[in-house]
Amino acid sequence: MNRAAWLREKRAMRHLRRGAVATLDYVLLIGVILPVAAFTMWAGPRIIRLAYEMVYVLLVWPFM
């Protein structure tokens, strides 16, 4: 195998690996990030409300 053929093969393999990484990015986005975003949209208001109540209790307890 001469040097030119070796370089062509190396470039082709690099191109195939990039495609595999792009597929992995899509799987990660759909399988992990979107469910986490959906859970955050569902649980976010409750978490904010509980944090507000916690701060309220810490500030008000000396006057109770």
pTM: 0.49
Band (57; pLDDT cuts 50, 70, 90): very high
Structural domain count, the chain: 1
Residue 63 token pair: 């006057």
Using one digit for the tens of pLDDT, what is the confidence trace for 38-50? 999 999 999 999 9
Buried b (16+ CB within 10 A) or exposed e, 27-62: eeeeeeeeeeeeeeeeeeeeeeeeeeeeeeeeeeee
Enclosing domain of residue 51:
3-63
